[in-house]
Structures are given as structure tokens and as C-alpha cells.
Amino acid sequence: MDIIVISSSPNKDALTASCAAAAAEGAREAGGQVEAVRLNDLEIRLCEACDNGWGTCLPDHECQVKDDFQALHARVCQADACVVVTPVYWGEMSESAKAFMDRLRRCEATRGEESGLFGKPVIAVAAAGDSGNGMITCLLSMERWIEHVRAFKFDLIPVNRWSREYKRVAVREAASTMVREMLT
Ligand SMILES: Cc1cc2nc3c(=O)[nH]c(=O)nc-3n(C[C@H](O)[C@H](O)[C@H](O)COP(=O)(O)O)c2cc1C
């Protein structure tokens, strides 16, 4: 079982990273092969809304902005399941998560049941490390993204400074259960 854990914080040792590590641990523990990807290590630029608003994403399901997106797009479509962990910025996902997810959505959402994520389980984690505000609005947009790409919402997990210890356990368990269920 091939699981990709995507995180999107510039900090390598903070709340987002610890939730991503918990997801990877849980998935491995259940027998999954895990690849962890930090979007901040990659060059993934913004969608340029090419041409009349749709570029090659509509007819070809590929993005014409050439950078690290293409390899990760292919990698996500190849995986059996995905965990996306973002810090909450202004009640939304991080800019690096948004850039990647926007471009992936444009390529896959219009493919219907041919989407590379069709029916695949996704766990979305929103890590709000300051006031704790905005976890739900962040998860709302992640939920919409999961729906648009026709994936399966396995879980949506809000985490704040006060809940971090027990939510780390929940993230780990969610990833572990997701892999176990796929293996049965
Ligand atoms: C630009 C920016 C906006 C933020 N907005 C929020 C917010 O709306 N709610 C919140 O609880 N924390 C907010 N934070 C704090 C981050 O969610 C917090 O630092 C979180 O732990 C980030 O994950 P990290 O520590 O793993 O990098 C914000 C941080 C930044 C840099």
C-alpha cells in the first residue's frame, strides 16, 4: 500500500511536521509504504489561470507551468492514499499547500471517475498553532478539494496547541486505520 504524506510548513520541527510524522508512523505501522513530501522543499508556483482561464489543465489534464508540480502530480495519482497536513494561515491552508492543491484540482477535477484520486482515501489535517482560530474554515476548503478531485474523505482532523498531544495520537490512528482498511 503506497501512501503519500504531504506537508506544507516551512518549519521542519513544529506542529505541522509533528502531525505529518504521526501520520507516517501510523501508516507504516499498519504495513504501508510511506513517502513524505514537504512542499516547501519543492518549487511549485501558483496557477497562472492561463489562456481564457483554462490552460492545458482542461483538455490535457496537465499543467503548462513547468516546475516540480508535474512529478508530484504523477506521484500523488500513483499513490493508493494520501495525507495532507497544512498549517492554518489566516484560517486557510498554507500558500504552498494551496498552490499545489489548486493546480492538482484543475488537472484532476474535470476527469470525473478518471481522476487520479477517484475513490482514494484522503486524510486532511489542519494545524492551527496560534489562536486556534480558523481550523474549521481551513478544513472546509480541504474538504471541498477532496470532493472536487473525487477522492474519499477518510477524515478531516483539526489540531491546535491545546489538543496537539491527543490529536497526534488521532492522526496516527487515522493513518493506521486507513491503511488497515485498504489492506482488508
Ligand atoms: C501567516 C500566518 C498566519 C497564521 N494564521 C493563523 C490562524 O489563522 N490561526 C491559528 O491558530 N494560527 C495561525 N498561525 C499560526 C500557525 O498556524 C502556527 O504557527 C502553526 O503551528 C504553523 O505550523 P508550524 O508551526 O508547523 O509551522 C499563522 C501563522 C502564520 C505564519
The length of the chain is 184
pLDDT digits (tens, 9 = 90+) for 79-108: 999 999 999 999 999 999 999 999 999 999
**Over the stretch 134-181, which tens digit does the pLDDT of each residue have?**
999 999 999 999 999 999 999 999 999 999 999 999 999 999 999 999
- Cell output for 162: 491545546
> Which DSSP category does 58 fall into?
T
pLDDT of residue 133: 98
From the list 35, 171, 181, the residue with the least C-alpha distance to 120 is 181
| The predicted structure's pLDDT at residue 109 | 98
Residue nearest to atom 18 of ligand 1 (CA): 129
Q: Cα of 95 to ligand 1 centre, how many Å?
A: 12
Pocket test for ligand 1, best of 15, 40, 96, 130 (most atoms within 8 A of CB): 130
Percent of the chain residues topping a pLDDT of 70: 100
Q: How far apart are CA 31 and CA 28, in angstroms?
A: 5
CA distances to 94, 144, 159, 171 from 126, rounded to whole Å, are 10, 14, 6, 11
Cα-based angle 7, 77, 41 (whole degrees, multiple of 5): 30
